[in-house]
Amino acid sequence: MKLLTHNMLSSRCIKGVSVGYPLKISAKNVRLVNCDFDTDFTVRIIQKLDWNALWEAAESVGHADDIPKNLSDIDDYDKNDEFLRKVHHVVLEVEVIEGELECPETGRKFPIEDGVPNMLLNEDEV
């Protein structure tokens, strides 16, 4: 599971959960994969990310040193090639292979196996 995917996941479909975001990551196995860098894509995706959730996810898997805690710390980030490459790395090249996601409201855990989060709910949770 890429951290880009994590940034979009929520557990708000669980009965009684109002926000369910961001999910906490506990990673047992993380790998790095190469992915071609695209400046335009990276600039556009930054605008759609919840930066705080991304930073927390990166920290939980040991890659927060690559990006600043606050996006506002970077002036003209869309023109900063070094910064954009670091974001690209964290968002697209850091991949959680084994671990789990945890709902911040209920503590419900969702396994990540072979890089795929299993977010299926039990009948009584819907």
Domains and CATH numbers, the chain: 3-114 (2.20.25.10)
pTM: 0.93
Residue 86: what pLDDT? Answer: 97
Residue 13: what pLDDT? Answer: 94
Q: Coil, helix or strand for 34?
A: coil
Please write the tens of the pLDDT for every residue from 71-103.
999 999 999 999 999 999 999 999 999 999 999
Question: 33 pLDDT band (50/70/90 cuts)?
Answer: very high
CA 34 – CA 37 distance, rounded (Å): 9
46, 58, 111, 113, 114 from 67: Cα distances, Å: 12, 8, 26, 26, 26
CA 93 – CA 63 distance, rounded (Å): 11
H-type alpha helices, 1-126: 3-6, 39-48, 51-60, 81-88
Does pLDDT of 66 surpass 90? no
Average pLDDT over residues 30-43: 97
Q: Which two tokens stand for residue 10?
A: 């929520």
